[in-house]
């Protein structure tokens, strides 16, 4: 079991959404939360709230996760001021929600910088400390969109497919190198009602509900505590794996029947 008590837990994208909720839950479990986000007012409000409640929190708001130098510079400050990071939760992510031909090169690059390359950059900063201590936990918040591609999500799905591959390769690499007490967890949730995916719809909500943030955050924190290597939610998303054996045309038909290919038709996002 991974315990949060007395551990330095760094959460990217923690000013809002499930990042903020995870910070609440982990701080309540005795974790020393280290908060990263580009949203300075949101991060300061969260940090002040946690400190009023008697929890330990350190906010770092001058870190744009699309910028490698800012990640490395902020990581140096964290290591100097807070010590080694015991649990790294790569939670930050963005979505464009546009068809491929409407995406600019800058938008595509930013999606990959934040959703994918930031995973490599933060992990490279904090993994050496975990290796020295002989323990640690790296959490990748990916997406069900990293298991299946749908219209208007070419950049997002590709970035999250890469995130799933990053986690899987890192997990087996650490085992191969003998670091079996450095755990990894990949999280693949369906759409979450945080505003990031405002406007998405689901055809069969009893099978594929738009998930509530507090429930998702609780499940993620529980999965980390139990050292689960993979958390996919809701359970119906697991049906994607056997359907991958179908011919592509039949696979597409099944996915369309369940409404997945129409989920983004009325996407608005945060604007």
Read off the tokens for 90: 């790569």
- pLDDT band of 270, cuts 50, 70, 90: confident
> Buried (b) or exposed (e) across 141-169, using 16+ Cβ within 10 A?
bbbbbbbbbbebbbbbbbbbbbbbebbee
Q: Phi first, then psi: what are they for 146, rounded to 5°? A: -90, 0
Q: Are 267 and 97 in contact (CB under 8 A)?
A: yes
User: For the segment 119-166, what is each residue's pLDDT rounded down to a tens digit?
Assistant: 999 999 999 999 999 999 999 999 999 999 999 999 999 999 999 999
Q: Which helix (H) or strand (E) holds 105?
A: helix 105-112
Question: 11-66 pLDDT, tens per residue?
Answer: 999 999 999 999 999 999 999 999 999 999 999 999 999 999 999 999 998 789 99
How far is the C-alpha of 226 from the C-alpha of 214, rounded, in Å? 18
- Structural contact between residues 202 and 223, judged by C-beta atoms closer than 8 angstroms: no
The residue behind tokens 């010590």 is: 83
Q: pTM, whole model, 2 decimals?
A: 0.97
Whether the Cβ atoms of residue 25 and residue 217 lie closer than 8 Å to each other = yes
Name the phi and psi angles at 128, rounded to 5. -55, -40
Residues serving a catalytic function are 156
Distance from C-alpha of 32 to C-alpha of 8, rounded to nearest angstrom? 5
For residue 74, the model assigns a pLDDT of 97
Distance CA(156)–CA(256), nearest Å, equals 19
Q: CA nearest 23: which of 33, 36, 13?
A: 33
Give residue-wise pLDDT tens across range 81-128: 999 999 999 999 999 999 999 999 999 999 999 999 999 999 999 999
């Amino acid at each position: 079991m991974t315990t949060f008590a007395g551990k330095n837990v760094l959460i990217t994208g923690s000013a809002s959404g499930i990042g903020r909720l995870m910070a609440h839950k982990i701080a309540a479990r005795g974790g020393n939360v280290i908060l990263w986000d580009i949203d300075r007012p949101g991060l300061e409000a969260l940090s002040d709230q946690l400190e009023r409640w008697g929890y330990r929190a350190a906010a770092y708001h001058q870190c744009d996760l699309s910028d490698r130098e800012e990640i490395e510079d902020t990581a140096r400050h964290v290591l100097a001021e807070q010590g080694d990071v015991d649990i790294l939760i790569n939670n930050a992510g963005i979505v464009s929600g546009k068809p491929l031909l409407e995406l600019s090169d800058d938008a595509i690059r930013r999606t990959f910088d934040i959703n994918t390359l930031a995973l490599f950059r933060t992990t490279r900063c904090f993994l050496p400390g975990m290796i020295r201590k002989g323990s640690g936990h790296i959490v990748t918040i990916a997406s069900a969109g990293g298991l299946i591609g749908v219209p208007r999500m070419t950049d997002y799905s590709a970035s999250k497919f890469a995130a799933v591959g990053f986690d899987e390769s890192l997990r087996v690499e650490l085992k191969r190198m003998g670091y079996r007490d450095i755990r990894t967890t990949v999280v693949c949730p369906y759409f979450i009602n945080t505003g990031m995916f405002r406007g998405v719809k689901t055809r069969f909500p009893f099978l594929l509900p738009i998930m509530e943030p507090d429930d998702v955050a609780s499940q993620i924190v529980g999965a980390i505590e139990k050292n689960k290597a993979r958390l996919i939610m809701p359970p119906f998303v697991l049906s994607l794996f056997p359907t991958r054996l179908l011919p592509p045309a039949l696979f597409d038909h099944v996915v369309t029947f369940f409404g997945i290919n129409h989920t983004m038709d009325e996407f608005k996002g945060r604007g």
